[in-house]
Amino acid sequence: MRFLSQVMTITTKDLRAEMRTKEAINASFSFALVVLLLLSFAFEPTEQTTQEISGGLLWIVFIFAGTLILNRSFARELPNDCLDALIAAPIPGAALFLGKALANFILILAVEFVALPVFGIFYNVRWAQQFWPLLLVLILGTWGLTTIGTVFSALTVNIRLREVMLPLLVYPVMIPLLLGAMRLSTLLVAGQAITGDETVWFRLLIGYDIIFTALSLVLMDTVLLG
């Protein structure tokens, strides 16, 4: 109970701070919309090949836009040395991680929910046909992005080139997750149900999320203090 209360305190603090400044969310929204627009010029939306890579395009937009939010997650603690105050407080690193990851998850999902209808319009796909399975893919994929991104955001917080380092570290680790999310999203935005062998990608997403969430919870204290 105490752990959950600490998690919620951190989540609320991060969301409140972000809503006051809107630094990360505005940048992320704008970036997602601009990239979707540019990609719609690069690929002919009505072509079959474009439809076949639509899931990939969608997730590329999501991870690039998401990285902008993740970069701010621990960087937000640097002004005034607020990270010291969090480290000094008697809260476990796992609570700090989970609180921050939840705030990031909510912010990234919000960007995705705005970007998805825009994507549907630009690429002429009826993404809402398989809404609930697609929502599940978004939740699983975004949680995976969030866990990895939050840990690496803590790891790179004191690096001068953290805006560059974070994607360099996060994207390679995310390859298995992205393979599954892209494949499932391609099928679902085309209105196809996930059946048979394709369900293995769901299991991959779930397994990835469980493994990396557990690792992050265990390693956070070490990441923060070295």
Partner 1 sequence: MNAAAVECAGIWKFYGDYPALRDISLKVPQGRCLALIGRNGAGKTTLLRILGGFSKAGKGQVSIFGQNPRETGARRRIGFIGHGIAVYDELSALENLRLFARLYQLPDAERTAREWLERTGLERVRDGLVREFSRGMRQRLAVARAFLHGPSVLLLDEPFTALDDRAVAVLQTVLRDALAGGRTVIMSTHQLREAMELATDVALIGRGRIAFHGERTEEMVNDPAWVYSHYGEA
Sites of contact with partner 1 (CB under 8 A) = 2, 5-6, 9, 13, 16-17, 20-21, 79-82, 84-92, 225-226
DSSP 1: -
Amino acid at the residue 81: D
CB of 160 to partner 1, least distance (A): 17
d(CA 87, CA 65): 28
Closer by beta carbon to partner 1, 90 or else 172: 90
Answer whether 65's CB lies under 8 Å from 111's CB.
Answer: yes
CB of 61 to partner 1, least distance (A): 28
CB of 179 to partner 1, least distance (A): 38
Q: Of 183, 186, 189, 184, nearest to 127 (Cα)?
A: 189
Structure tokens at 118: 């825009």
Answer whether 32's CB lies under 8 Å from 107's CB.
Answer: no
Closer by beta carbon to partner 1, 7 or else 57: 7
CB of 226 to partner 1, least distance (A): 6
CB of 212 to partner 1, least distance (A): 25
Closer by beta carbon to partner 1, 61 or else 98: 98
Closer by beta carbon to partner 1, 76 or else 183: 76
CB of 79 to partner 1, least distance (A): 6
Structure tokens at 20: 């006051």
Cα Rg of the chain (Å, integer): 18
Closer by beta carbon to partner 1, 72 or else 183: 72
Closer by beta carbon to partner 1, 86 or else 178: 86
> Where are the alpha helices (H) located in the chain, listed in sequence order?
2-21, 23-42, 48-52, 54-75, 82-88, 93-123, 131-155, 162-173, 175-189, 199-225
